[in-house]
Every structure is written in structure tokens, then in C-alpha cells.
Amino acid sequence: MRSCLWEVQVVTSFGIGRVVESTDDKYAKGEIVTGPFLPVAEYCVVPSDFIIKKIEPNGDIPLPDYLSCLGVPGFAAWVGIEVLGEPKAGSNVFISAAAGGVGMYAGQLAKLRGCRVVGSTGSDEKVILVKEEFGYDEAFNYKKETDLDAALSKYFPDGIDMYLDNVGGKMLEAVLNHVNEGARISLCGMISEYNKVWTEREGVRNLLNMVGKGVRMEGFMVGSPSHLARLGDFAREMEGHLRQGRIRSKHKIYHGVESFLESLQSLFSSSNMGKVILQVKPS
């Protein structure tokens, strides 16, 4: 297998880099490429099979968009909403972690389908952001409206038809008390659960509601072969939205490899807004 040495410029688990050296004819020094699961490092050597895309350096799409709207969060939002959720025009859609990397695109995609969209998030500032910037119809701060059942009764008087879950635990349980017949739940991630041993997690006690309401709940990883097979469809649709100005992004860029821990920690403290990007070297 041929390999090439990259100068890593911008890195998340999915990253963008400039080729520094290459033993693979397909990639030349100076080219900009993307690949999944890059290490947090200024330089790295990777098998060239890991590269999934070359980016035109003078294209009309800014580099960070390849990591957000056209990267993992955008693709996750698209799979969760369009592939698994399939909401119809007029459906009542709920999205947790609405101001996060996935949530911001999920809400916008559901709005583009003609849905009524409500989000939950962790600060009043983010409530304003998702409503004013991302077009959510309603949003609430779960740290203030701590009675989740009451909040969902208030924001979903006609019940929930589709839920994109980014948090798990108590929020998922509350949603299952408000689902309509045939509701869909896409499980994208469960930020409330990651840092716990599973036996210490709070269980969801009302899965029986899924029987009575005929609910379908499906978990997904964007890296699974069945979803990756749709990457081309996603890229075409999302680049269209982006070029037509139908999708907005918010990025929080941390600078320098030494900021890595701070950037990672922001995901767990409710302090981040939009997609968190770590730029390990100045471009």
C-alpha cells in the first residue's frame, strides 16, 4: 500500500490536510485532501486509501464547510433526517442538542422538508441562535425548563412525529411519552451517556410506548457501509443547498494543537455552538 505524508491543517476526527510528500501518483505535493479519523497532530503519515476526497484550493466553498456542512455533522444530520426519519411536510420534528454540529443542520433539513421544528439546547443564547440563525420554529433551554414532560407538552401540543436524538437518557424517555402513531426516532448519539459505564446509565423505562404507538427507533453511524453508500447523494444535495444559500453554518475554530483538550471539553459542557474545529497549524 502506498502512503503519503500530510501536513495536517485542520483536524477533527475527520480532517483536512495538505500533502507534503506522497508515494502515490494520485496525490501530489501541495494538494488539499480530506480523510476520516486523523490523529490530532501537525503531521501524520497515512495510507493513501484513507483519503476520500481532493478539494479544489480555489473552490467557492470555504475549507471549514468540508468539515461541517459537507462533513460528518452534515452527513449525520442528513442520514438521521432524510434517510431514517423521512418526515413529511407538516410533521412535528424535535431535535436535541439543536445548536450542535449535527443539530444545526438537522433542523434546517427538516425545515426544507416543510416540517415544524423544535429544538432543545443548553443556554438561552443557543435558543436564540437556533431560532434566528437556523430557522427553528421553537426552541427551549433544558437547563431552565427542567420538567421535560411539561416542556414537550407545551411545544408539541399535537405530539412528536420525528425525533433526532443526540443526547439519550431522560430526554429520550420524555420524548417516548409524546410520540404519535408511527413516529420515527433516529439515534445519532447520546452525549449524556458517553462518560458512564453502561450499568450506571439511567435506563429508559417506557419503551413499551413503542409497541402501542408503532414507533421505529434506529441507531446509526455515518461510517457504516450502508450509509457510506449514500455519500454521493448527500454531497450533491448538500452542496446544492449550500450554493443556493439554503443552509447556514456556525463554526467555532480553536487554534493550535495545544487547544485540543479545550475544544474537546467544550462538547461536554454545553459551551459550544455549532461545529467545533481544531486548526492545528495556520493555513
Q: What is the grid cell recorded at 81?
A: 433526517
CA distance 97 to 77: 12
**Number of CB atoms found within 10 A of residue 176's CB:** 22
Q: What is the grid cell recorded at 171?
A: 430526554
Q: Is 173 in the site for a second copy (CB under 8 A)?
A: yes
Q: Is 146 in the site for a second copy (CB under 8 A)?
A: no
Q: Which residue in 215, 277, 278, 280 binds a second copy (CB under 8 A)?
A: 215
Q: What is the grid cell recorded at 256?
A: 493550535
Q: Which residue in 16, 44, 172, 247 binds a second copy (CB under 8 A)?
A: 172
Q: Are 64 and 210 in contact (CB under 8 A)?
A: no
How many Cα atoms are found within 13 Å in the side-chain-facing hemisphere of 124? 1
- The residue with cell 426516532 is 185
Q: Is 187 in the site for a second copy (CB under 8 A)?
A: yes
Q: Is 246 in the site for a second copy (CB under 8 A)?
A: no
Residue 99's nearest CA partner among 62, 61, 140, 63 is: 140
CA distance 197 to 144: 27
Q: Is 219 in the site for a second copy (CB under 8 A)?
A: yes
Q: Is 148 in the site for a second copy (CB under 8 A)?
A: no
Interface with a second copy (CB under 8 A), residue total: 38
Task: Tell the smallest beta-carbon distance from residue 46 to a second copy (Å).
Answer: 24
Q: Are 106 and 81 in contact (CB under 8 A)?
A: yes
Task: Tell the smallest beta-carbon distance from residue 95 to a second copy (Å).
Answer: 16
Q: Is 266 in the site for a second copy (CB under 8 A)?
A: no
Q: Are 273 and 252 in contact (CB under 8 A)?
A: yes
Q: Which residue in 89, 208, 244, 282 binds a second copy (CB under 8 A)?
A: 208
Q: Is 181 in the site for a second copy (CB under 8 A)?
A: yes
Region from 61-69, 100-108, 152-160, 165-173 binding a second copy, contact rule CB under 8 A: 165-173
Q: Which residue in 217, 247, 276, 280 binds a second copy (CB under 8 A)?
A: 217
Q: Is 210 in the site for a second copy (CB under 8 A)?
A: yes
Q: Which spans of this chain sit near a second copy (rule: CB under 8 A)?
A: 168, 172-173, 181-182, 187-190, 193-194, 198-221, 224, 226-227
